[in-house]
Amino acid sequence: MPPTTSTLAQLWAKADRPAIRAFFLSITALAIALLLAIYSGAAAELGNIGVAASSALFALAIAGWVAVTLLPTLAKRTPLRWIGQKVEYKISRAGWLYFGATLLVALAALNTGNNLLFLILSCLVSVILMSGILSSISLAGVELRIGLPDHIFAGQTVRASVELINGKLTLPSFALRVEAVVAKNSPATALLETPVFLPYIPREQSMKQSVPVTFLKRGLHVQDTFRVVTRFPFGFLQKSRRVALKSVALVYPSVESDSELSEIFPGIEGSIESYHKGRGQDLHALREYVATDSASHVHWKASARAGSLMVREFAREDDFRVLLVLDPHPGDSPFRSGTTSPAPHAVGVTSATSQAAIPPATSSVIPGEARNLSSANERFERAVSTCAGIAWRFYERNAFLQFRSAGIETSLAPAEENIFVILRHLAVAQPQPTEAQDALLQDLAASPDLFKVIVTSRPRGTIPAELWHSSYVIFLESPEEIRQAR
């Protein structure tokens, strides 16, 4: 089937047939009314007043019938979406030069009356009109889709897909650019930092382009409005149409390993091993000793029988059953000098876990209460990033992991089953009131069976003593607090 026939068949299949019937019927009736009006004028010139009057009345009656019966039917079926589409215009530098040249030619033509100048002026004006029509056609019938990955981490570059769909049946679109719209005074960053250019979109087809996107901070990033821009065909005029498309990106905290986390995690593993020691883990197997094995795992009787060192290997799930806890303390309590932690499982973290996501506070710029608030926010963000990094380490080891914080408690399960539930909570976690913090710590103290890793921005000496024998507490301390403690 030829392309023209196929296009006509598609148009006829999608056409509103009652509206088409009403349209042609109204055109026929109005043509008859026009002929009667012309005949009425001719009869009046010939002096036949009766025929002229009756013809005029018939013409008015037909026009009134069309206005009352057929016109409302056509108005109901007319799509008015284009009325709500706000098109923005911007004249480029080349456009200003072109309009200036057109104005000079127009002044010269008016002053001289030269027909050649009028011909040139008409060509220049027709180019402007053609540019406006072609750019409008290029923007019409275009839909936008934005695709983001399911899992996005702060500070990591991911690929987002930008797709433009050309819904026009007969005409393609040219030279379209997609960009995010952000208010001038808005603190939020644009979802698309750089515009995406699509040179050509065939009719009834779509074009997709993948672009790199980086989110520096965790949280919920929302982009409500995008803009589709074109300077087709001559670049004199830039037309843009806003597209209301809500795109939401949930950004997890950064889980990249750094020197800080590498120093913390061996201490956590050692504390877990010490806590489970002597608790009757199930023996999984005996194997030969290697240099990295602990001497406490050597099975001396089996070694004597075998003539070489043999070590006990325990079931993996018994070695790594951990309750990870994020204390939702905002970190604004004053440091209590002279207090020390009574437990051996405590560590102080002194530098930011994710420099990309949380900029360090500068005390020389932020004075007084503003400085304290900034330091508190930074400390809580460090607690969230540290908690995410530890959870990811347990996920890589496929440990049995449970997570608790204010408003959330997961079940004890392999980390691969609940890691993204934990990260989704950490992406939007916020400090909680004192009552919620105290209730969380009391519940933890009542559950001594499971080893707990607690990440907190509280000062030292504020963790209940009941937690110390079954917990490893990570304090997010500032350098000033560590100097005061020393």
With a pLDDT cut of 90, the percent of the chain lying above it is 24
Query: How do the residues of the chain divide into helix, strand and coil, expressed in percent and rounded to 5?
Result: 45, 25, 30
Q: Measured between alpha carbons, how far is 318 from 447 in angstroms, rounded to an integer? A: 17
Phi then psi dihedrals of residue 422, to 5 deg: -65, -45
In this structure, the answer to whether residues 273 and 244 fall within a common structural domain is: no
Q: Is the pLDDT of residue 335 over 50?
A: no
In this structure, the answer to whether residues 229 and 331 fall within a common structural domain is: no
In this structure, the answer to whether residues 171 and 233 fall within a common structural domain is: yes
pLDDT tens track for 129-167: 999 889 988 998 899 999 999 999 998 999 999 999 998
Residue 409 belongs to some domain of the structure: yes
Peptide bond into 330 cis (omega under 30): no
pLDDT at 338 (0 to 100):
36
In this structure, the answer to whether residues 469 and 411 fall within a common structural domain is: yes
Q: Is the pLDDT of residue 246 over 70?
A: yes
- Provide the residue range defining the domain that includes 65: 16-78
Residue 351 belongs to some domain of the structure: yes
Query: How many folded domains does the chain comprise?
Result: 3
pLDDT tens track for 339-396: 333 333 444 433 323 322 333 333 333 444 445 556 667 888 888 988 999 999 888 8
Residue 135 belongs to some domain of the structure: yes
In this structure, the answer to whether residues 207 and 219 fall within a common structural domain is: yes
In this structure, the answer to whether residues 235 and 169 fall within a common structural domain is: yes
Closest CA to 138 of 166, 86, 173, 164: 173
In this structure, the answer to whether residues 195 and 244 fall within a common structural domain is: yes
Residue 361 belongs to some domain of the structure: yes
In this structure, the answer to whether residues 128 and 189 fall within a common structural domain is: yes
Which neighbouring-strand residues pair with 401? Answer: 322, 413
What's the one-letter identity of residue 46? L
In this structure, the answer to whether residues 127 and 227 fall within a common structural domain is: yes
Residue 392 belongs to some domain of the structure: yes
Residue 293 belongs to some domain of the structure: no
Residue where a domain stops, chosen among 34, 59, 78: 78
Residue 393 belongs to some domain of the structure: yes
Which neighbouring-strand residues pair with 210? Answer: 161
**Of the listed ranges 2-16, 154-168, 210-224, 417-431, the one predicted with least confidence:** 2-16
Cβ count near 65 (within 10 Å) = 14
281 or 48, which is more confident: 48
Q: Measured between alpha carbons, how far is 327 from 335 in angstroms, rounded to an integer? A: 17
Closest CA to 264 of 392, 417, 109, 102: 392
pLDDT at 100 (0 to 100):
94
Which neighbouring-strand residues pair with 209? Answer: 162
In this structure, the answer to whether residues 127 and 142 fall within a common structural domain is: yes
Residue 6 belongs to some domain of the structure: no
pLDDT tens track for 385-412: 889 999 998 888 888 888 988 888 898 8
Q: What is the pTM of this model?
A: 0.66
Q: How far is CA 339 from the centre of its chain?
A: 45
Mean pLDDT of the chain: 78
pLDDT band at 319 (very low <50, low <70, confident <90, very high): low
Degrees, nearest 5: CA angle 203-208-213: 150
In this structure, the answer to whether residues 63 and 193 fall within a common structural domain is: no
CATH number at residue 223: 2.60.40.10
pLDDT at 358 (0 to 100):
32
In this structure, the answer to whether residues 60 and 131 fall within a common structural domain is: no
pLDDT at 174 (0 to 100):
94
